Amino acid sequence: FSSIIILLGLKQALRVKYNQSYQTVFGDDPEAMDALQKSEQEPALLALIERWLERTPGLTTHGFNFWGKFQAAVNKLIKDDIDAASRETNETVRRHRLQDAENRREIYRSIFDPAVHDALRSRGERRLSHKALQGAIMITFYRDEPRFSQPHQLLTLLMDIDSLITKWRYNHVIMVQRMIGSQQLGTGGSSGYQYLRSTLR
């Protein structure tokens, strides 16, 4: 399971602090240690997907320029919402609608502004580069076009894998809690249930 997680893209630096070193658990199994160390050296699926998304056709400003058109459409949408909210006669409703528009502007700013995106990425809240994010959004918007149908299916399958791994982790946590309780130490000297639960966050 650890090898699969590593190959998908979860490197040591992003793991929960316990077991930063596999030596703690797999030190007595040279084959397991060798397999894990090799997994760390191989390019992760996430890195390969990121490079692929960065090459999505239509992102360049001298071509179709999807990103520029997307930004213009979003800015117009928010401006129209603000204008409509400003004409609202009920003050309470007007304040609520204006605040809602401002909240959406901030959400989109985290998408459009590379500096904000990079800050979120440095905190581990996002994983893809800004260019790869643009590619993923474009593929999602144009998923019904023949050119982007299969790329969208691939992205959907990757999200399914992520969901299934999360479900497996959750089921594992519940099983451990039922079998040994939430206060007993787990294998390898971890805190057991508490450690496993922290990996779900």
pLDDT at 152 (0 to 100): 98
Rounded mean pLDDT, 78-83: 95
- Which tokens is 160 given? 């399914």
Q: Which one, of 188, 193, 198, 200, lies nearest residue 177 by Cα?
A: 193
- Which tokens is 66 given? 């999807």
The 3-state DSSP class for residue 118 equals helix
Residues, the chain, total?
201
Q: What is the pLDDT of residues 132-153, one digit of tens each?
A: 999 999 999 999 999 999 999 9
Contacts of 83 (CB under 8 A, 6+ apart): none
Share of the chain above pLDDT 70, in %: 80
Measured CA to CA in angstroms, residue 80 lies from 53, 64, 75, 84, 91 at distances of 31, 25, 9, 6, 18
d(CA 112, CA 78): 14
Look up the pTM and report it: 0.77
Arithmetic mean of pLDDT over the chain: 84
d(CA 14, CA 6): 10
| Position 193 confidence tier, pLDDT thresholds 50, 70, 90 | low
pLDDT at 28 (0 to 100): 65
pLDDT at 66 (0 to 100): 95
Rounded mean pLDDT, 44-61: 92
73 by Cβ neighbours in 10 Å (0-12 / 13-18 / 19+) ranks as: exposed
